[in-house]
């Protein structure tokens, strides 16, 4: 008995500027392109198209190493934002029961070592995992973790990187962020990391 799987398809009109090579035109005309492959190709093409003018506008030469480093940082932040979500200053105020116009609450929480933030363009972003899912309370692990980090000279982005990257201290090489409810485990791992540095 054979089972047929019907694949969901989507037709998207594409306008080609210029001439395609005959073999490329033939392949495009006769076959469907898997969406995941097309998504990747088009995403890379758009990235190149957008990145080139920015690099041309740079007043000083950028080494390939610096360009790779900056792109790796951007990719990592996008992954963190996609997986965990972030709040703006106004959203933190609303989450904590204040008026959304209260922009100083998040700054006060950061300055008092309750939460970490990072800059994204012209605004601060606050990783959502620092708050409980209900009630918007700050997870109890955050203030002592931040205090230890700051005593060791770590910046908020360093803490974010430590929290969101796999770590052999945790079962199965999982990430500290996966264990935020186990305060003792996270703080013990953080203490080891800070002392090692």
Tokens of 146: 């931040």
pLDDT value at 125 more than 80: yes
Which pLDDT value is given to residue 7?
Answer: 62
Mean pLDDT of 95-118: 88
**pLDDT for residue 182 is more than 90:** yes
pLDDT of residue 142: 98
Q: Is the pTM of this model over 0.85?
A: no
Question: What are the residue ranges of helices labelled H in 31-63?
Answer: 35-57
Query: Using one digit for the tens of pLDDT, what is the confidence trace for 9-30?
Result: 777 777 777 877 888 777 777 7
Helix (H) or strand (E) holding 127: strand 123-127
- pLDDT per position as a tens digit, 35-72: 777 777 777 777 677 767 766 777 888 788 988 888 89
Rounded to whole angstroms, the maximal C-alpha distance in the chain is 67
Judge whether 106 and 126 are in contact, CB under 8 Å: yes
Exposure b/e, 45-74, CB count within 10 A at least 16 = b: eeeeeeeeeeeeeeeeeeeeeeeeeeeeee
Work out the percent of the chain whose per-residue pLDDT is above 90: 51
């Amino acid at each position: 008995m054979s089972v047929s799987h019907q694949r969901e398809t989507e037709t998207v009109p594409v306008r080609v500027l210029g001439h395609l090579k005959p073999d490329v035109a033939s392949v495009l005309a006769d076959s469907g392109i898997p969406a995941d492959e097309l998504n990747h190709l088009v995403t890379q093409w758009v990235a190149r198209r957008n990145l080139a003018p920015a690099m041309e506008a740079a007043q000083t030469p950028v080494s390939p190493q610096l360009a790779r480093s900056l792109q790796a940082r951007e990719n990592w932040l996008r992954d963190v934002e996609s997986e965990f979500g972030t709040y703006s200053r106004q959203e933190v105020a609303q989450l904590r029961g204040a008026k959304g116009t209260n922009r100083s609450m998040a700054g006060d929480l950061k300055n008092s070592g309750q939460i970490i933030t990072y800059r994204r363009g012209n605004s601060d972003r606050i990783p959502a995992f620092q708050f409980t899912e209900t009630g918007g309370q700050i997870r109890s692990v955050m203030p002592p973790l931040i205090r230890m980090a700051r005593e060791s000279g770590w910046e908020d982005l360093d803490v974010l990187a430590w929290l969101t990257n796999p770590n052999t201290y945790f079962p199965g090489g999982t990430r500290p962020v996966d264990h935020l409810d186990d305060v003792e485990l996270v703080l013990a791992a953080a203490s080891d990391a800070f002392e090692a540095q």
